[in-house]
Amino acid sequence: MITDEHRTAATGSADAISRAVGEELRRLREAKGLSRAQLVARLPSGIGDRTLLSYEHGTRHLTILRFIELCHTLDTPAPSLLNQALQRARIHLQNLVLHVDLLAMLHDRSDKFRPMHQWARNKLNDFPDGIVELPPTSVRELATFVGCSYLELANYLARFIPGKNVAWHDPK
């Protein structure tokens, strides 16, 4: 049976996801130099400026189809934008492939995560662009190595999101 507490938690989570996705859509739109009016004019569905504004502010939930339409119009893969939005907002990290900027991580001076520095330096040999993808299983193993919980390390790693201001694109 779903209690009021469960319903409130689910709504809070849905609202947080809507805000995170909306903010990521806004970031990407602005990075592409588009106004809301310009983006709306490119959408085949014919939504209004205010509807897009409510999506970007997370006050209105996006349907999957509308989300895909917006991502397609912005020329970015929907799964990549969703992953980035959730990583940036640190929501559902246990389900995400984290994208980590190793160079940014190497500038962090946290004593607790200092063992990660040698790992990051070694990874740069294989990933000279400094960006790695870490599936949950890898984060779990690294957490064991560092001596912390999975979520503690995932939250730490999620801070080093590549291209802080724009959505990254899936190279596949």
The DSSP secondary structure of 55-118, one letter per residue, reads HHTTSSPPPHHHHHHHHHHTTS-HHHHHHHHHHHHT-SGGGS-EEEEHHHHHT---STTTHHHH
Q: Which tens digit of pLDDT belongs to each residue from 97-128?
A: 999 999 999 999 989 999 999 999 999 999 99
Q: What's the confidence (pLDDT) of residue 1?
A: 52
61 with 116, same domain: the answer is no
Measured from the Cβ of residue 58, the count of other Cβ atoms closer than 10 Å reads: 20
Q: Is residue 137 part of a domain?
A: yes
51 with 72, same domain: the answer is yes
The CATH number of the domain holding residue 25 is 1.10.260.40
Q: What's the confidence (pLDDT) of residue 144?
A: 95
Q: What is the domain count for the chain?
A: 2
109 with 67, same domain: the answer is no
Last residue of a domain, one of 54, 89, 124: 89
69 with 98, same domain: the answer is no
119 with 79, same domain: the answer is no
83 with 15, same domain: the answer is yes
pTM for this model (two decimals): 0.83
Q: Is residue 115 part of a domain?
A: yes
Low-confidence ranges of the chain (pLDDT < 50): 4-11, 165-172
Q: Is residue 171 part of a domain?
A: no
The DSSP secondary structure of 100-111, one letter per residue, reads EEHHHHHT---S
Which residue range is the domain that position 58 belongs to?
4-89
58 with 104, same domain: the answer is no
38 with 97, same domain: the answer is no
Q: What's the confidence (pLDDT) of residue 90?
A: 93
Contacts of 107 (CB under 8 A, 6+ apart): none
